[in-house]
Amino acid sequence: MSAAVAAIIGSAVPSNRRKPCWLGTPEIYFRKTIDNSRLVKVEDPRRAREMKQFGIALCILFALVMGYALQHFRAIEYGYQIEALRSQRDGLLEMNRALRLEDASLRDPERIDVMARKLGLQSPQPGQVMHLDVNADTGMPVMASVTPISVVSAR
């Protein structure tokens, strides 16, 4: 208890130190309403012109960047289309080569002769084969004619 009494007595005794007059910012803040409704903004024509020029410059820059991006992406797209068409062309060339090879093998006279003999066909007799005139001009009218054809029975 003596410690408590000593603390009370120590605080009651004035100290020789002087306390500062200003202790910092006050802890209480007062609300002050500010009415700016009567203020009128003064237009600055130079600032307005600068902002207009800046906006136009930004629009032009945006248009240039978009134009470049459009060209770039179209070039990439065209590259893909070219590659697809090249691969399609290569496939068609390979198919054409295979078809020409098949056509050549199907037109082989030996193969046709073997198949005809299997079916029981014989070589034509003289006079049965009629050659068409391949040198005739197709632009000129041709008179129709009847030629007798003899049919030979294979039975």
Per-residue pLDDT, 9: 53
What pLDDT does 143 receive? Answer: 73
pLDDT at 102: 95
**What is the model's pLDDT at position 63?**
98
3-state secondary structure of 137: coil
Q: Return d(Cα 16, Cα 35) in angstroms, integer.
A: 50
Segments of the chain scoring below 70 in pLDDT: 1-26, 133-138, 142, 152-155
The pLDDT of residue 147 is 75
Count of CB atoms situated within 10 Å of the CB of 41: 5
Extract the tokens encoding 8.
């009370």
* The predicted structure's pLDDT at residue 61: 98
